[in-house]
Amino acid sequence: MTVGDLGEFGVIQRISGRLPRTAAVLLGPGDDAAVLKAPDGRVVVSTDLLIEGRHFRRDWSSGYDIGRKAAAQNLSDIVAMGADPTALVVGLGLPADVPADWLDALTDGFRDECDLVGATVAGGDIARSETVVLGVTALGDLGGRSPVTRSGARPGDVVAVAGRLGYAAAGLALLGAGVTGGPPELVALLEAHRRPLPPYPCGPRAALLGATAMLDVSDGLLQDLGHVADASGVAVALDAAALPVPETLTAAARHLGADPLEWVLTGGDDHALAATFPSEVRLPPEWTPAGVVTEGRGVRVDGQTRTEGGWDHFRG
Amino acid sequence: MTVGDLGEFGVIQRISGRLPRTAAVLLGPGDDAAVLKAPDGRVVVSTDLLIEGRHFRRDWSSGYDIGRKAAAQNLSDIVAMGADPTALVVGLGLPADVPADWLDALTDGFRDECDLVGATVAGGDIARSETVVLGVTALGDLGGRSPVTRSGARPGDVVAVAGRLGYAAAGLALLGAGVTGGPPELVALLEAHRRPLPPYPCGPRAALLGATAMLDVSDGLLQDLGHVADASGVAVALDAAALPVPETLTAAARHLGADPLEWVLTGGDDHALAATFPSEVRLPPEWTPAGVVTEGRGVRVDGQTRTEGGWDHFRG
């Protein structure tokens, strides 16, 4: 059974049937548009386009993992503003020969990742396409909080990180070296490459704590802190010894003759959060202080300049 | 100068520089997410995926027209709920060899169509892709009105249409017959194929008038009224003589030996609105009454059954 056998109507019914309704969804799939609660009176919205062969490969990741990852990276953008995700809408481009089972798995991946934050897929669009294309839009509610942008970091602020850093990069390096299994801690890294574990609750909580700037680490800590430095007109000085480099990463790096700190500094795809806080804020344990904001520009690690700003990865 | 020459950062700057900010956009492009006003406390959201070669062709339509059409079809979904569009977010997949001029024209098309409803593009995502892909999401505000769904039509209601019907289909038929120019009324039909003129103000106004069901006519009047009939559990009886068949269509049909009524009944892409109203509602002139809602199912024209429901165009 393929998507082509199901037809558009069948595909929509099949997807809708696997998705829960949540209280935030006042009107779900099946009309011209969905209607969501936006109790704050403002809505936070972020969109990503994921294209097969560039952002994912069906022979490398299951439909389930692709769904989880696609949802995660969008939900993470919402919490990085300090908001609570309410729903996704998903435009889905599908070749006719995609198996119905794959579609089910993709849907379940979206559903399970959304479940982590109490959200769901509230609507979407189906189109035929040569390769799988996902246009994912996430919406969220600020619950009365001010959005935490990239531009509010001030000299004297503390730089802190929440969530995993370097795991996905280590997993990719292991896969590249032909490691496809092993002890649980290695498998966890392989899994991390396929599926991020964003620290969802940390985003809204950071807004409440008074974070001055925050973003989702999707391109690597250095690069993303470079965006904060650029947008805020400040410099970021990281202390390498303060960054979390767990034994899992160290062991994998030893195995590959790599430097685990580089994974932590430059690895993307984990969707950790990086934020700046006024120095007087008492950070809860999920945040690891790892540097300070200073006058200047760019990002330094142990006093050494690592980024100058002006990132570009369209050509990458 | 191509998109590849500009790079991701250059593309984003170039697009952002051409877009106005509106009062509804509290935080625009450049952060993890945009923040929009949602004064109603609910947000209406619709998404569409448009794929080159399937939904548009760069050799048939200009970048400007593609932008206008992509914006129009999404904005139309918002007004079809009775809401006022506030903003779009756009995921844009681009081959590196796309000329920068084409990107400018696309952006201007989005901008000018959004201008018609006081909206703008508030954010987006850029990705490299083999062909142009547009993931367009529109958001809107209900302004205290109830959303007008597809499921509220009741026997006794009047069926009415607003906006142009059959124009885009006539334009396509003319193009197919090799007509690429001629008197202004023919050119208007060719234009209609490239760029719809949705009757934006009619949507929110219909909600205020008490419309019981409404939708955006994107797949053809019969097919779309079939959705209303299905969702509402009723039948729709159209009176062919009441449907608007302007002289422009009649003349083009005469030229091609076609039936203009078929264009009106089955042509998509004009993004007219079709709605049902309680019979006591005094319809303003922009709405043309063209039938009634009855018990039963499906859509009849002059007593003859034309749809049974269960539409499917995934295979189409």
What is the least distance, in Å, from the CA of B37 to any CA of chain A? Answer: 4
φ/ψ of B242, rounded to 5, equals -85, -15
- For residue B231, list chain A residues with Cβ-Cβ distance below 8 A: 30-31
Contacts (Cβ under 8 Å, ≥6 apart) of B234:
B153, B154, B155, B228, B293, B294, B295, B296, B297
Inspect the interface and report whether the beta carbons of A42 and B37 lie closer than 8 Å.
yes
Inspect the interface and report whether the beta carbons of A89 and B315 lie closer than 8 Å.
no
A195 is in an annotated binding site: no
CATH for the stretch A158-307:
3.90.650.10
pLDDT category at A182 given cuts 50, 70, 90 is: confident
Inspect the interface and report whether the beta carbons of A10 and B44 lie closer than 8 Å.
no
Count contacts between A and B (CB, < 8 Å): 253
Chain Cα centroid distance, residue B98: 26
Q: Using CA atoms, how far apart are residues B115 and B113, in angstroms rounded to an integer?
A: 5
A158-307 matches A3-141 in CATH topology: no
Residues 161-180 of B with CB under 8 A from A: none
Inspect the interface and report whether the beta carbons of A150 and B93 lie closer than 8 Å.
no
What is the least distance, in Å, from the CA of B44 to any CA of chain A? Answer: 4
Torsion sign across C-alpha atoms B93, B97, B102, B103: positive
Question: Which among A89, A137, A307, A311 is the top mutation candidate for probing chain B, defined by the most B β-carbons within 10 Å of its own β-carbon?
Answer: A137
Return the CATH number of A3-141, one of 3.40.50.720, 3.40.50.300, 3.40.50.970, 3.30.1330.10: 3.30.1330.10
pLDDT tens across the length of chain B (316 residues): 999 999 888 898 899 999 999 999 999 998 999 999 999 999 999 999 999 998 888 888 899 999 999 999 999 999 999 999 999 999 999 999 999 999 999 999 999 999 999 999 999 999 999 999 999 999 999 999 999 999 999 999 999 999 999 999 999 999 889 988 888 888 999 999 889 999 999 999 999 999 999 999 998 999 999 999 999 999 999 999 999 999 999 999 998 999 999 999 999 889 999 999 999 999 999 999 999 999 999 999 999 988 754 444 444 3
Q: Is B50 on the interface with A (CB under 8 A)?
A: yes
What is the least distance, in Å, from the CA of A175 to any CA of chain B? Answer: 24
pLDDT category at A9 given cuts 50, 70, 90 is: confident
- For residue B139, list chain A residues with Cβ-Cβ distance below 8 A: 43, 45
Inspect the interface and report whether the beta carbons of B150 and A30 lie closer than 8 Å.
yes
Q: Is B1 on the interface with A (CB under 8 A)?
A: no
Name which of A33, A76, A150 is nearest B44 (Cβ-Cβ).
A33
- For residue B41, list chain A residues with Cβ-Cβ distance below 8 A: 37-39, 41
Name which of B36, B135, B140 is nearest A42 (Cβ-Cβ).
B36
Name which of A3, A4, A49 is nearest B127 (Cβ-Cβ).
A49
Name which of B10, B45, B216 is nearest A34 (Cβ-Cβ).
B45
Q: Is B100 on the interface with A (CB under 8 A)?
A: no
pLDDT of residue A289: 98
ipTM: 0.94
pLDDT (mean) for A204-216:
98
The residues spanned by each domain of chain B are 3-141, 158-307
A46 is in an annotated binding site: yes
Contacts (Cβ under 8 Å, ≥6 apart) of B223:
B266, B268, B307, B311
CA angle (A71 as vertex; A66, A73 as ends), nearest 5: 95
Q: Is A315 on the interface with B (CB under 8 A)?
A: yes
A32 is in an annotated binding site: yes
Inspect the interface and report whether the beta carbons of B54 and A123 lie closer than 8 Å.
no
Please spell the DSSP secondary structure of chain A, one letter per residue.
-BHHHHHHHHHHHHHHHT----TTEEE-TTSSSEEEE-TTSEEEEEEEEEEBTTTB-TTTS-HHHHHHHHHHHHHHHHHTTT-EEEEEEEEEEE-TTSBHHHHHHHHHHHHHHHHTTT-EEEEEEEEE-SS-EEEEEEEEE-TTPPP--SS---TTPEEEEES--SHHHHHHHHHHTT----SHHHHHHHHHHHS----TTHHHHHHHHT-SEEEEESS-HHHHHHHHHHHHT-EEEE-GGGS---HHHHHHHHHHT--HHHHHHH--SS-EEEEEE-TT----TT-EEEEEEESSSEEEETTEEEE-S----S--
Name which of A33, A91, A128 is nearest B81 (Cβ-Cβ).
A33
